[in-house]
Amino acid sequence: MKTGDTLKVKGKISGDAEGFSINLGSSSSDLALHFNPRFTESVIVCNSKCCKAWQAEHRDHHFCFSRDSSVKLIIEFLEDKFKVKLPDDHHVEFPNRHGFDKLKYMSIKGGFRVTSFKLD
């Protein structure tokens, strides 16, 4: 994935999900974007990780996710930030703190099952 690319992820949130995360970076210890909706707190936490160390959290209280539902997320990788379009068309923005211009690592964890993804 390189700057200017858009990642579209569709999936199903499990009925017992406490949360899930989508992680993009150069490796599991260097993440440019950790996107983490948490049902337990009704908040979306975004963060980055550098050399295995988490950085300052960004918390967005616009929580439009529900358990046992299908969702589509669109993640735009811009030069200076990530722009995540939520299922209700709200956007969450998070800075590209590392200044990455390409990402080679992706993981999706927690109560989310990917049904399709596409990189444009």
Q: What is the pLDDT along the chain (120 residues), one digit of tens a residue?
A: 999 999 999 999 999 999 999 999 999 999 999 999 999 999 999 999 999 999 999 999 999 999 999 999 999 999 999 999 999 999 999 999 999 999 999 999 999 999 999 999
- Element (DSSP H or E) covering residue 55: none
Q: What stretches of 1-120 adopt beta strand conformation (E)?
A: 6-13, 20-27, 30-38, 43-50, 53-54, 58-60, 69-77, 81-85, 91-95, 105-110, 112-119
DSSP state for residue 84 in the 8-state scheme: E
Give me the pLDDT at residue 90, please. 96
